[in-house]
Amino acid sequence: MSWQAYVDSSLVGSGHLDKGAIISAAGDSVWATSSGFTVKPEEQKELASILSGAEAAKNKAFADGVHVAGERFVAFKVEDRSLYLRQGRTGVVVVKTKQAILIGHYGENVQAGNATSTVEALADYLIKAGY
């Protein structure tokens, strides 16, 4: 399956996400994205830095928020491989695998837990497949 197919079918196709993207774990390239969901180069680097465990990047995320596709989100939880962001009733789930970072945006009519499960499940699958 192509990276674009993962975005279209596994992320957005789930019905729990309205936009998605897959970028490199280094934060230096976009592998696939939903139409109109452009994760800028500086945003990619910031996400990669936070998920690499850089303490300063994590602190900045909590203090200043995180920008994804030009929108500012509040960081409310950072784990070893995952970052959870919120903006009002919408949010973003970001999960790192060995080679990729998955980004899923959910709308206000979706429960955050469903969006989280969708992105985490795809990450688990990709990790088992060596990615």
CA 64 distance to own-chain centroid: 18
Identify the domain containing residue 85 by its residue range: 3-112
pTM: 0.96
Residue 47, in any domain of the structure: yes
Nearest to 86 by CA among 95, 98, 76: 76
CB 102 within 8 A of CB 20: yes
> Where residue 91 sits, what CATH number does that domain have?
3.30.450.30
Q: How many domains, the chain?
A: 1
53 vs 48: CA distance, rounded Å = 9
Per-residue pLDDT of 51-106, as tens digits, reads 998 899 999 999 999 999 999 999 999 999 999 999 999 999 999 999 999 999 99
